[in-house]
Amino acid sequence: MGAVNVANKDINVSLAEKKPRVVFVLGGPGSGKGTQCANIVEHFHYTHLSAGDLLRAEIKSGSENGTMIQNMIKEGKIVPSEVTIKLLEKAMLESGNDKFLIDGFPRNEENRAAFEAVTKIEPEFVLFFNCPEEEMEKRLLSRNQGREDDNIETIRKRFKVFLDSSLPVIEYYKVKGKVREIEAAKPIGEVFEAVKVVFTPKAEKVVA
C-alpha cells in the first residue's frame, strides 16, 4: 500500500536515492515558523513538514506511541528522534516533491545527529527566526488553536528546552555557515520580505 508499509530500511534507501533538498526552519515556540512556511510554500513551491504537526497527527491516529507523544508535548519535552524521523521520512516519500521545509526539527543534538545518520541528508541551509521571548509568549497565548501546550506553564518549559537544547543546534550550523537569521519580531509581511531574500537565487537579486 505505498510508502507507509514498506520497511524502514527501504524508506532510507529510497530517500537517499532521491536526494531531496531540505531547509530546516528553526526558532523558538511562537517565533512564526509555521506562518512563514505557509508563505514560502506559496511562493517557492516547497512542501512544508512541521514535526509538531506530524506528532499531533500521530496522536490523533490512535498510534501505539500516541500516549507517550501526548505526554511529552504536554511537558514541552522532545520526543525521541526515532519516532519523529520515521514520520518525517514517510511524509517526504509520500509527498512526491523533492524540496522540503522541515519546521521545528532538529530541536536537539539527538534529532540532528540521528537525522543525518539515518537519511544522509545535509540541509541546504537553516532558516532561523530570532524573536524575543516576550513577543513569543504573547503570540502563543493568543494562538487559539486549542493546543494543550499553549498554556503559560508549558510555554515556560518550552522556552527552557529551546535555550538549553535547540539553540546549540543553531550554533552548530552557524559554525558551518549555514544559518540564515531573520528578525522575527516584526509584522508578518515584513518578516516575509526578509525571508524572500533568502530564498531568491542570487542572480535575481541584482538590480539592473
Ligand X SMILES: Nc1ncnc2c1ncn2[C@@H]1O[C@H](COP(=O)(O)OP(=O)(O)O)[C@@H](O)[C@H]1O
Ligand Y SMILES: Nc1ccn([C@@H]2O[C@H](COP(=O)(O)OP(=O)(O)O)[C@@H](O)[C@H]2O)c(=O)n1
Interface residues with ligand X (CB under 6 A) are 27, 29-35, 139, 143, 186-188, 191
What's the start-to-end Cα distance of the chain, in Å?
52
Contact 31, 129 (CB under 8 A): yes
Binding-site member from 11, 58, 76, 184 for ligand Y (CB under 6 A): 76
Angle at the Cα of 11 from the Cα atoms of 9 and 13, rounded to 5 degrees = 70
Instruction: Please count the CA atoms within 13 angstroms of the CA of 154 that sit on its side-chain side.
Output: 18
Residue number with the shortest CB distance to Mg ion? 34
* In the complex, minimum distance from the CB of residue 16 to ligand X, in angstroms, rounded to a whole number: 29
- Which three cell numbers mark 30? 511562537
Residue 188 binding target from ligand X, ligand Y, Mg ion, none, CB below 5 to 8 Å by type: ligand X
* In the complex, minimum distance from the CB of residue 17 to ligand X, in angstroms, rounded to a whole number: 31
Q: Is 185 in the site for ligand Y (CB under 6 A)?
A: no
Torsion of CA 196, 136, 58, 67, to 10 degrees: 160
Residue 99 bridge partners (DSSP): 21
Residue 35 binding target from Mg ion, ligand X, ligand Y, none, CB below 5 to 8 Å by type: ligand X
Distance of alpha carbon 103 from alpha carbon 65, whole angstroms? 21
* In the complex, minimum distance from the CB of residue 31 to Mg ion, in angstroms, rounded to a whole number: 9
Residue 179 binding target from ligand X, Mg ion, ligand Y, none, CB below 5 to 8 Å by type: none
Task: List residues binding ligand Y (CB under 6 A).
Answer: 29-30, 33-34, 50-52, 55, 72-73, 76-79, 84, 104-105, 107, 111, 149, 158
